[in-house]
Amino acid sequence: MAPIRVSILGTGLSLQAFHFPLIDALPDKYILHSVMERTDRGKARAVCGPDTKVVNTIDQVVNDPDVDLAALEAGKNGELTTPGRPLTPVMVEKPVTPTVKEAEELAALAKSKNLVFCAYQNRRWDADFLTLKDLLKSGKLGPIHEMTSRFDRYRPLPPGHKSSSWKETPGQHNEGIYNLGSHVIDQALNLFGVPEKVWCRNYDERGVGLDECFEMELLYPPQPGATGPLAVHLGANMLNSVPVQLRYLVKGLKGSFLKNGLDPQEPFLRAGKKVRDEGFGIESEDAWGTVSTVPSKNGWYPAIYENVYDAITSKDPSKLVVQPEQAIWTMKIIELGNKSSKEGRVIDVKAEADKL
């Protein structure tokens, strides 16, 4: 089969560090058709090459019969439903849409057309997360009773700082729980499923005007073989000044897993290197997690595009690793977390999820 022709909507960090490098690494499966840059400032060509086709509107993408897949940098709904034209399979940036309702509508639309619709949850292929999944599957830790998963940073604001990034600009769904939160929530749901209860606190730590930080606890019944419940602690903080940032701490009956530092794939690609360059996805030994010492598996972000390719070419959306229903549950936990933070109480997931 000929490579799938992809259009990428937007020229932000995801173009440079994620979508283009990943499809570029899979030339037998994908080819870049175009990039949507609302105002052509040359960024798309600077990242993707001087001959890159640049379009300025989403209509130029959805009305182009040569586009097989749209990789979106922001969740959009009705704009992809141009009357009279077959819908295009889409890869949508995490978490997926601003609200649960929109996510459900988009998933239902894709299902009704038997189309592939995938949320870009690339961090399921982080080196440390792949390592943790294998470790849990092996049973070496025994029944798990507590897990901490964090994305902390140390970014104090200089005097006179003025926000320039959307991540520091108050607006629709820019809060940290939607940003980094969507990753750690998705990973927790992937490991343990839907929790029984949710507690959350969203807060503005640096005074930027929006809740860029959060602390969340997901409460589960006892895991098989455990005598007590499972508590999963998730969080993101912008002023964590400890020299080594905690990524995972997983406690089991037979042992614990401690992992510091972040997966190396994003900084590797941000530096302008390519997926096929030596060292991509490989963590240095000093970053390995410890039970005694656990070598990290190699991370491989292109796997999400390989998986989408298989789903598209087989015309079988059930092959997707990141299922729309999983993306919807991530959104539900985010919204229930917001509700918990606003009301200052623990939320019963079963009782409240259907009301969203």
The packing angle between helices 324-343 and 100-112, to 10°, is 170
Cβ atoms 70, 61 nearer than 8 A: yes
Look up residue 70 and give its amino acid: A
Determine the longest span between alpha carbons in the chain, in angstroms: 61
Write out pLDDT tens, residues 16-32: 999 999 999 999 999 99
What is the model's pLDDT at position 74?
Answer: 35
DSSP structural state of residue 16: I
How far is Cα of residue 128 from the mean position of the Cα atoms in its chain? 15
> Residue 120: CB partners within 8 Å, gap ≥ 6?
14, 18, 19, 71, 91, 92, 93, 94, 304, 322
What is the model's pLDDT at position 70?
Answer: 82
What is the model's pLDDT at position 100?
Answer: 96
Burial grade of 57 (CB within 10 A; 0-12, 13-18, 19 or more): exposed
Q: Can you list the alpha helix ranges (DSSP code H) found in 99-239?
A: 100-112, 127-138, 180-192
Cβ atoms 294, 257 nearer than 8 A: yes
Write out pLDDT tens, residues 29-58: 999 999 999 998 999 999 999 999 999 998
Element (H, E) at 201: strand 197-203
What is the model's pLDDT at position 99?
Answer: 94
What is the residue-level pLDDT of the chain in tens, covering all 356 positions?
Answer: 789 999 999 998 899 999 999 999 999 999 999 999 999 899 999 999 999 999 999 889 888 888 988 865 533 333 344 444 445 778 999 999 999 999 999 899 889 888 889 999 999 999 999 999 999 999 999 999 999 999 999 999 998 888 877 788 888 789 999 999 999 999 999 999 999 999 999 999 999 999 999 999 999 999 999 989 999 999 999 999 998 899 999 999 999 999 999 999 999 999 999 999 999 999 999 899 998 778 889 999 999 999 999 999 999 999 999 999 999 999 999 999 999 999 999 999 999 999 99
What is the model's pLDDT at position 78?
Answer: 32
Rg of the chain over CA atoms, in angstroms? 20
**Matching CATH topology for 4-115 and 123-299+335-340?**
no
What is the model's pLDDT at position 87?
Answer: 57
Kind of pairing between the strands at 246-252 and 144-152: antiparallel
CA–CA separation, 42 and 236 (whole Å)? 34
What CATH number has the domain spanning 4-115?
3.40.50.720
Domains of the chain, residue spans:
4-115, 123-299+335-340
Kind of pairing between the strands at 230-237 and 347-348: unpaired
What is the model's pLDDT at position 233?
Answer: 98
CB atoms under 10 Å from CB of 134, counted, come to: 12
Q: Which CATH superfamily is domain 123-299+335-340 in?
A: Dihydrodipicolinate Reductase; domain 2 (3.30.360.10)
What is the model's pLDDT at position 62?
Answer: 82
The sign of the torsion formed by the CA atoms of 94, 96, 100, 104 equals: negative
CA–CA separation, 337 and 98 (whole Å)? 14
> For all residues of the chain together, what is the average pLDDT?
91
CA–CA separation, 305 and 22 (whole Å)? 7
